[in-house]
Structure 1
Amino acid sequence: MHLELEGKRAIVTGSSTGLGEEIARRLAAEGASVVVHGRDEARAEAVAKTIREAGGHADVTLGDLGTDEGAEAAVAGALAGGPIDILVNNAGVYDMAATWATTSPTAWADIYNTNVISSVRMIQRLVPAMRERGWGRVIQISSVTGRLPQASQPHYAATNAARSNLAASLARDLRETGVTSNAIAAGGILVPSVETSLVALGRQNGWGETWDEIEPNLIRALAPNDAGRIGRPGDYAGLVTYLASPAGSYVNGANLQVDGGWRDA
C-alpha cells in the first residue's frame, strides 16, 4: 500500500531499539524522513544507518525526555533537519515485577514523568508548528492495561490510561486544524528482552522449554486473547504508519485497541 509519506518528516521517541525502531523503519520504508531518537548515540546511529542502507532517510537526535532540558535538546536536534510533521510518542518504561506492595509513591511519580509528561513535553514543543502549517499527526503508544489493569504494575497501567486520555483531549484541542491525535493501546510486544524474560518465566511454570512451546501456554495463563499469541512489533508499526499517512486523516481522537482480542478472562 502506498501511503504517500514522501516529503513528511517524523520523529519516533525511543526508537533506538524495540518497537520504536520497527516504527521508524516502517515509516522510512513508506517514504518518510525519520528522526531516530534515543539516549545512546551509538545505538541510535546504528538504527539510522540500517534505514539509510535500505534506501531511506534518517537523522538522529538525543535527549532524556524525562527532563525539560533533555526534551529541548531532542527537539532542537530533530528540527535541525527541517519541520516535524509526525510525532510518535513511543518512549516509555515498565516493570513487570512491580506490585502495590513494592511500588513507592516516588516510583509512581517517576513512571508518570517518563510515560506521560515526556509526551506532553514533545507535544508542546512540536504540535504548535503543525497547527500553523495545517497538517500533522500525533500518535501515542499506550497499552491495553490502561483499560484492563492487572494487579501487578498498577503505576504502569495508570500511565497508559493517561496516555490514551491525553490523546483524546489533544484531538479536541486540535479540531478542524488538519492535525490528528490518536492512541494505540497495545497488547504484549515481543521484543528480544521480553522474550528472554518470558522464556525464563515459562520454564519456571512448566509451560515448556522453547518459546514456541511456551507462548500459547503463557497466553492462556496471563493474557488470554483470541489470536493466541503475543503481538510482534510489525503488528503495531503498520497501524502507526497508516495513522501517520494522509489515508488516516479521518481517524481522530481514537484509542485503538490492538491486542489480539484480549479477554478479561
Structure 2
Amino acid sequence: MDLKLVGKRALVTGSSSGLGEEIVRHLAAEGAAVVVHGRDRARAQSVADAVRREGGDASVALGDLTTDAGADAIAARALEGGPVDILVNNAGVYDPSRSWAATSSTEWADTYNINVISSMRMVQRLVPAMRARGWGRVVQISSVTGTMPQASQPHYAASNAARDNLAASLARELKHSGVTSNAVAAGGILVPASVDHLVGIGRENGWGETWEEIEPELVGNLAPNGVGRIGRPHEYAALVTYLASPRSDYINGSTLRVDGGWYDAA
C-alpha cells in the first residue's frame, strides 16, 4: 500500500535509538523526509546517516525538550528544511524499578516534564502551521499503563494517562482543520538495550537461560498477553507510520493499544 508520504516532513522526538529510530526508518522508507531528534550528536547523526544510506532524506535536530529554550532550538532546526507536516512525540523516560515509596516529588515532576510537557512544547511550536496549511498529523507514544497501571512506577503510568488525554484534547481543538491527533499505547517493546536486563530477570527467577526460553515465562508472569511475547519495534512503527499518513484521515482523537491483548492476571 502506498501511504502517500512522499513530500511530507516528519519530526520524531527521541529518535536517536530504540522505537524512535525504528519510526524514523519506517517513515523514511515510505518517502517522508525525516528529522532525527536527540541530545547526543553522534547517535542522532548515525541514525540520519543510516537513513540516507537506505535512500531516504534525513536531517538532525539536537536539543533538550525539558526546557522552552531547548524546544525552540529543536523546532527551529526542524523547520530549516521546510514545513513539518508530522509530529511524533516519542521522547520519554521510565524506570520499572521505581515504587511509590522510592519515588520523590522531584522525580514525579521530572517525569511529567519530559513525558507530557515536552509534547505540549512541540505541539505549540509546530501544530499552528499545520492548521494554517490544512493538513497535519500528531502522534503521541504512550503506554497501556495509562489505563492499566501497576503498583510500580506510578509516576510513569500517570504521565501516560496524561499523554492519552493530551491526544484527545488536541483532536477536539483541531476539529475540522485537517490535522489529526492520536496516541499509540504501547505494551512491552523489545529494544536491543533491554534484552540483557530482561535475561537477567529471567535467570534470577529460574525462567531459563536463553532469551528464547525466558521470553514466554517473562510475559506470562509479568505482563501476560494473548500473543505470548513482547512487541517488536517494527510492529509499533508500522502503526505510527500509518497514523502519520493521509490514509488515516478518519482516525482522530483515539488511543490505539498495541500490546498483544495484555490482560491483568491478578
Q: Fold match, TM over 0.5?
A: yes
Q: What are the within-5 Å matches in structure 2 for residues 1-265 of structure 1? A: 1-265=1-265
Give the CA deviation at 1:193: 1.6
Give the CA deviation at 1:241: 0.5
Deviations 1:198-237 (A, max 9, x none): 1111110001111110000000000000010000100100
Which amino acid letter does the alignment assign opposite residue 56 of structure 1? Answer: G
Which amino acid letter does the alignment assign opposite residue 140 of structure 2? Answer: Q
Distance 1:216 1:54 in 2: 34
Distance 2:222 2:195 in 1: 14
How high is the TM-score relative to the length of structure 1? 0.99
Give the CA deviation at 1:80: 0.5
Distance 1:109 1:239 in 2: 30
Deviations 1:177-201 (A, max 9, x none): 0000000000000001211211111
Give the CA deviation at 1:174: 0.1
Q: Give me the identity figure in percent.
A: 72
Which amino acid letter does the alignment assign opposite residue 177 of structure 1? Answer: S
Distance 2:197 2:67 in 1: 29
Provide the alpha-carbon RMSD of the alignment.
0.5
Give the CA deviation at 1:62: 0.4
Distance 1:138 1:194 in 2: 27
Distance 2:194 2:253 in 1: 30
> Aligned pairs, how many?
265
Distance 2:232 2:95 in 1: 19
Distance 1:193 1:102 in 2: 24
Which amino acid letter does the alignment assign opposite residue 49 of structure 2? Answer: K
Distance 1:165 1:148 in 2: 15
SS in 2 for 1:60: strand
Distance 1:196 1:123 in 2: 35
Distance 1:7 1:233 in 2: 25
Which amino acid letter does the alignment assign opposite residue 232 of structure 2? Answer: R
Which amino acid letter does the alignment assign opposite residue 208 of structure 1? Answer: G
Which amino acid letter does the alignment assign opposite residue 58 of structure 1? Answer: A
Which amino acid letter does the alignment assign opposite residue 115 of structure 2? Answer: N
Give the CA deviation at 1:38: 0.3
How high is the TM-score relative to the length of structure 2? 0.99
SS in 2 for 1:230: coil
SS in 2 for 1:151: coil
Q: Which runs of 5+ in 2 are unaligned?
A: none
SS in 1 for 2:201: helix
Q: Which runs of 5+ in 1 are unaligned?
A: none
Distance 1:241 1:170 in 2: 19
